[in-house]
Amino acid sequence: MTMEKDISILEETINRLNFRFEALQKITQLINLASNFEQVLDEVMRLTIELVNAQAGVVILIDQTTGELSSHITIGGRPREELGEEPKWKLNKGVMGAILKVGEPAIISDASEYPIFRDELSKAVGCTVINALCVPLKSKGETLGVLEIFNKKLSTEESKEGDKGVAPFTAEDQKLIVSLSNEIVMVIENAMLFNERERKVVELDNLLKATEAIASAMQLDPLLDTIMERGMKVMEAEGCSVLLVDEKEKKLQFVAASGANKE
């Protein structure tokens, strides 16, 4: 029986090593596909979770505008559409804030020791968080967010023996996820570059159309309307107005307005 058990454990180890090799190859191929950020990151996360034999995981990114953390991709647990409003966290508070401040990975062996962290993340992924492996996502010294993996599954043999708990995350798991976090950062950076390129294309298109309007306009009012419309799109503004100096009155006068506060 002992030999059969040893063979079973060896076979499981070999299978996991083969899967790890194939998954790493797939992740390397995926990082260059920036045209569909959500789909690529979703697949990379799925493979990452499977590599450490965990139940669920989440990528939490920093919103540079609001200074908050928000879950971006969730794998495992319940589907995102069933989880309701996307949770947000303050940047410098709680366990995640501490991890981001220190900038080092952390293994949380017992999430019940941090009830707020456990409850918030359980709500975010749709399953009860028992243990966690947390790794900051960093690029060129800047922290983009944090990758968190939850509830490592038991091995096949442990499950057969009736153990119903979770397995502990190991130093090897942490080392693997740290290396994969670099790949995830590359996915995020590629997507950011792609989105910036798309924004530039739209901006240049609006400027080109405004230039064409200037070249062809015969009347001032339609020309100003076109310029304001294009300017609002480029700046993502709700309103725009043009004021000219009245040389006689020595004061500014409205000559055109557009947007929500046009009147």
49-106 pLDDT, tens digit each = 888 889 988 888 887 777 777 766 666 655 555 555 666 667 777 787 888 888 899 9
Once rounded to an integer, what is the mean pLDDT over residues 231-245?
77
Residue 171: which CATH number?
Answer: 3.30.450.40
Joined together, the tokens standing for residue 169 give 């995350």
Last residue of a domain, one of 170, 188, 206: 188
pLDDT at 116 over 70: yes
Please indicate, yes or no, whether residues 109 and 46 belong to a single structural domain of this protein. yes
Please indicate, yes or no, whether residues 181 and 206 belong to a single structural domain of this protein. no
Please indicate, yes or no, whether residues 217 and 169 belong to a single structural domain of this protein. no
pLDDT of residue 185: 83
Among the listed ranges 12-16, 23-27, 157-161, 179-183, which one has the minimum average pLDDT value?
157-161
Please indicate, yes or no, whether residues 162 and 56 belong to a single structural domain of this protein. yes
Please indicate, yes or no, whether residues 180 and 229 belong to a single structural domain of this protein. no
Number of structural domains found in the chain: 2
Please name which of 137, 134, 173, 171 lies closest in space to residue 153, comparing C-alpha atoms.
Answer: 173
Last residue of a domain, one of 165, 188, 211: 188
Please indicate, yes or no, whether residues 230 and 160 belong to a single structural domain of this protein. no
Q: What is the DSSP letter of 111?
A: G
What is the rounded CA–CA span in Å between residue 79 and residue 138? 27
Please indicate, yes or no, whether residues 8 and 119 belong to a single structural domain of this protein. yes
Please indicate, yes or no, whether residues 211 and 151 belong to a single structural domain of this protein. no
187-231 pLDDT, tens digit each = 777 776 766 677 777 777 777 776 666 656 556 667 677 777 877
Tell me the Ramachandran region of residue 113: left when phi exceeds 0, alpha when psi lies from -120 to 50, beta otherwise.
alpha
Please indicate, yes or no, whether residues 108 and 227 belong to a single structural domain of this protein. no
pLDDT of residue 112: 92
Q: How confident is the model at residue 155 (pLDDT cuts 50, 70, 90)?
A: confident
Last residue of a domain, one of 155, 188, 221: 188
Please indicate, yes or no, whether residues 44 and 102 belong to a single structural domain of this protein. yes
Please indicate, yes or no, whether residues 29 and 156 belong to a single structural domain of this protein. yes
Residue 124: give the domain boundaries: 2-188
Q: What does the mean pLDDT of the chain come to?
A: 75
pLDDT of residue 73: 65
Please indicate, yes or no, whether residues 248 and 139 belong to a single structural domain of this protein. no
Q: What residues are paired with 244 via a beta bridge?
A: 253
pLDDT of residue 163: 54
Q: Report the number of secondary-structure helices (H) and strands (E) in the chain.
A: 7, 8
Angle in degrees, CA 180, 182, 185, rounded to 5: 115
